[in-house]
């Protein structure tokens, strides 16, 4: 899925080269995405954040931002949080 196909109102995981954004999709304008009830996790060089993503899928988003707008450049993958294995 690309950023323009992200379903509005659904929690998604947006993995970029610099950070992982998890939250409910709001408005999408070009390469800018607005999320609600979101969390941002920086990606340290060479580290895999899949364990953190799966933990979030299991226990819920640790909301740090009620509303967040970011440039979705360098997107590696976008997926529904509900599709992430919870193990």
pLDDT at 80: 94
pLDDT by residue (tens digit) across 5-58?
778 899 999 998 889 999 999 998 888 899 999 999 998 877 778 989 999 999
**Structural domain total, the chain:** 1
pLDDT at 46: 72
Q: How many CB atoms lie within 10 A of CB 61?
A: 17
The enclosing domain of 65 has a CATH number of 2.30.30.100
DSSP-derived secondary structure letter, 67: E
Cβ atoms 40, 33 nearer than 8 A: no
pTM: 0.89
- Range of 41's domain? 3-83
């Amino acid at each position: 899925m690309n950023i323009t196909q992200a379903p509005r109102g659904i929690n998604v995981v947006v993995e970029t080269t610099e950070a992982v954004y998890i939250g409910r999709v709001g408005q999408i304008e070009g390469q800018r995405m607005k999320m609600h009830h979101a969390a941002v996790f920086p990606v340290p060089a060479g580290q895999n954040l899949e364990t953190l993503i799966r933990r979030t899928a299991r226990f819920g988003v640790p909301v740090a931002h009620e509303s967040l707008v970011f440039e979705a450049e360098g997107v590696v993958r976008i997926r529904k949080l509900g599709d992430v294995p919870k193990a």
